[in-house]
Structures are given as structure tokens and as C-alpha cells.
Amino acid sequence: MNPRDEITKYLPLTESTYYILLTLIEPLHGYGVMQKVDGLSEGTVKIGPGTLYGAFQSLEKEALIIKVGEEERRKIYIITDKGREVLKEQYLRLAVMVRSGSVI
């Protein structure tokens, strides 16, 4: 499989997944992710615990994030290099959409 195909098979990302990956540029636990997503999205994306922990499982299984620690039963995750590549490709897709929409 072409290395680029390995990245693009995850695209397009959902809004929730995009923001989850974006927040995990720095190590963070679930509650911190939920708060940061709310802030970064200016309140337009809300992620509940069930959605978040399901996403964590899927993203970890696909090696887009890894668990790096645990504090008081809170699991801490961070994005992997592969996850960064997927996030970057999604960002580039979104940038094209924004440029295309400038005609409005």
C-alpha cells in the first residue's frame, strides 16, 4: 500500500475526530479533551463521554493516538506521528474548502 493511501484512508475526518486529534497535540485526559474541543470549536462541537471514549478506542486501535500515562484513573493520550499526518491532510482539505467558499 502506498504510504499516502495509508493516511488518506482515514479522510474525511468527522468534526469530532478532527478536534479530538487537534487537542491531543499535547498530552491530555478525556475531560480535558472535552473542554478543549468546546473552546477550540467556539462551542459548535460538543463531545460527550460515550462518544469520546469510543473515539479513543478507535483512534488508539488505528495507531493515531497512544496512551502515555494515567493520573488518578484518568488516562492521558497524545497524537502519534501517523495521527499528525492524518490531521495535516484533513487541515489541507479544509483549507481548500474555505478558499473555494470565498466566492460567497
Question: Do 98 and 90 form a contact (C-beta atoms < 8 A)?
Answer: no
Residue 75: domain span: 3-91
The CATH number of the domain where 12 resides is what?
1.10.10.10
Structural domain count of the chain: 1
Cβ-based burial of 77 (10 A; exposed 0-12, middle 13-18, buried ≥19): buried
The answer to whether residue 98 sits within a structural domain is no
The answer to whether residue 97 sits within a structural domain is no
State pTM to two decimals: 0.93
Which ranges in 41-72 belong to alpha helices (H)? 49-61
Over the stretch 59-70, which tens digit does the pLDDT of each residue have? 999 999 999 999
Place 99 in a pLDDT band, splitting at 50, 70 and 90. very high
Over the stretch 37-91, which tens digit does the pLDDT of each residue have? 999 999 999 999 999 999 999 999 999 999 999 999 999 999 999 999 999 999 9
How far apart are the C-alpha atoms of 89 and 96, rounded to whole Å?
11
Cα angle value 71/77/81 (rounded, 5°): 150
